[in-house]
Amino acid sequence: MLRLTFCSLTLALLCVSIAGSAQCRKEKKEYAWELSCGAGALPTFLKDRTHTLFPPVRITAERKASRVLSAGIYAGYSVADSEKPAPGTEQMVHFRHKYLTAGLRLSAHVNPRPEPWDVYGGFVAGWSQNRTRTMSGDPEWFVLHKGLKPVRNGIHLSGFMGARYALGERLGLFAEVGWCVSLLSVGLSFRV
C-alpha cells in the first residue's frame, strides 16, 4: 500500500511539473516570409576572367509553405568587363556585359525548426538577359564565328544548396552555392 501511494504521488508530481514547464515555456513565433540580400563572392562570368564593375547582387523573398518547404522569387544583377584578342590580329576587343536574372525558387529545408542553423536545397526556374556592348575594337570575328549578339535572353533551370545561421530571432547570415547571379553568394536574411 505504501509503495502504491509513493508511486501515485511521484507520478502526480511528475505530471504537474511537466504541465507547469510546458506552460512556462515561451513559444517561438513562426515567421512566414524570409527576405535576403546578398553579394556574389565569385564573379558572374568566372570562366571568362572578367573584371567586375558592379559586383553580383541578389535579392530573394521566400514564403514558408510548410515546415520544410518554401517558395519564392529572386532577382540578380551584375556588370563586368572583358577583353579578348581577335584571332588573326593583334587587336584586343573590349566588351561590357550587363547581366540580369529573375525567377522562381522552391526550397526544401532539412531542419523543420532551425535553431540556429537552417540547411536547405532546391530548384530555380528563371529568365536571364545578358547585354553585351563593344567598348573598343572590332567585334566582327566574334559576331561571325561565336554568334555574339548584343542582347541574349534565355530560360534557365538550376539547383542550389545553402545554409542560414540565425543571429537572432529575425536576423541571419546565409551562404549559398548554385547558379543565380554568382556560383557562391553570401549575405543577410531577415524574417518577417
pLDDT of residue 28: 55
- Stated pTM of the model: 0.73
Residues 38/58, Cβ–Cβ less than 8 Å: yes
31-191 maps to CATH 2.40.160.20 = yes
Q: How confident is the model at residue 8 (pLDDT cuts 50, 70, 90)?
A: very low
How far apart (Å, rounded) are the C-alpha atoms in residues 74 and 55? 17
- pLDDT tens string 32-73: 899 999 998 887 776 667 778 898 999 999 998 888 899 999
The tens digit of pLDDT for each residue in 155-179 reads: 999 999 999 999 988 999 999 998 7
Which of 176, 135, 133, 131 has the alpha carbon at shortest distance from 34?
176
Q: Where are the domains of the chain?
A: 31-191
> What is the residue-averaged pLDDT of the chain?
80
pLDDT of the residue at 24:
43
Do 40 and 182 meet the contact criterion of CB atoms below 8 Å apart? yes
Residue 134 pLDDT > 70:
yes
The amino acid at residue 184 is L
- Residue closest to 103 by CA, chosen among 68, 76, 130: 76
* CA distance from start to end of the chain: 58
Q: Could you tell me if 186 and 38 are in contact, meaning their C-beta atoms sit under 8 angstroms apart?
A: yes
Q: What percent of the chain has pLDDT over 90?
A: 40
